[in-house]
Structure 1
Amino acid sequence: MLALVRHGQTDWNAAGRLQGHTDVPLNSLGRQQAYDAGASLSAGGWDVLVSSPLVRAVETAQIIGSQVGLELAETLPELLERDYGGIEGTVLRGMDRPHIDELMRQAEPEVDVAVRGIAGLQALLRTYPEQNIIAVAHGTILRLTLNTLHGTPRDYILNGEAVELDPNVVLGYRPDPDQLAATRS
Structure 2
Amino acid sequence: MLIAFIRHGQTDWNREGLLQGSSDIPLNDTGREQAHDAFMTLRSRPWDVVVSSPLQRARETAQIIADGLDIPLGRAYPELIERDYGPLEGTSAAAAIERWPAREYPGAESLESVARRGEAALAAIVADIRDGAVLVVCHGTIIRYTLARLAGRPVPGIDNGSISMLRFEDGAWQVATVNGIPLEEIPIEHAARQPSREGEAPVSRS
- In the superposition, the TM-score normalised over structure 2's length comes to 0.78
Q: How many positions carry a matched residue from both structures?
A: 172
CA distance in 2, matches of 1:50, 1:103: 29
CA distance in 2, matches of 1:134, 1:92: 28
CA distance in 2, matches of 1:167, 1:74: 20
2:65 maps to 64
Q: How does 1:1-185 map to 2 (within 5 A)?
A: 1-94=2-95, 97-99=98-100, 104-168=105-169, 171-172=171-172
> Which digits, 9 at most, give the CA deviation of each residue in 1:128-181, with x for residues without a partner?
011210000000000000000001111311000011111238x426xxxxxxxx
Change (3 A) 1:26 1:102: closer
> Which digits, 9 at most, give the CA deviation of each residue in 1:25-49, with x for residues without a partner?
0111100000000111112211111
Give the aligned residue type for 2:12: D
Percentage identity across paired residues of the two chains: 44
CA distance in 1, matches of 2:132, 2:103: 42
Q: Offset of 1:99 from its aligned partner?
A: 4.4
Are the counterparts in 2 of residues 92 and 100 from structure 1 also a CA contact under 8 Å? no
Give the aligned residue type for 2:172: G
CA distance in 2, matches of 1:147, 1:102: 15
CA distance in 1, matches of 2:143, 2:125: 15
Change (3 A) 1:113 1:34: same
Are the counterparts in 2 of residues 2 and 165 from structure 1 also a CA contact under 8 Å? yes
Give the aligned residue type for 2:110: P
Structure that is richer in strand per residue: 2
- In the superposition, the TM-score normalised over structure 1's length comes to 0.87
Structure that is richer in helix per residue: 1
Give the aligned residue type for 2:79: E
Q: Offset of 1:101 from its aligned partner?
A: 5.1
Q: Offset of 1:94 from its aligned partner?
A: 4.7
> Which digits, 9 at most, give the CA deviation of each residue in 1:66-102, with x for residues without a partner?
1211131110001000011111111132566344558
Give the aligned residue type for 1:5: I
CA distance in 2, matches of 1:94, 1:49: 35
Q: Which runs of 5+ in 2 are unaligned?
A: 174-206
CA distance in 1, matches of 2:60, 2:90: 21
Change (3 A) 1:148 1:15: same
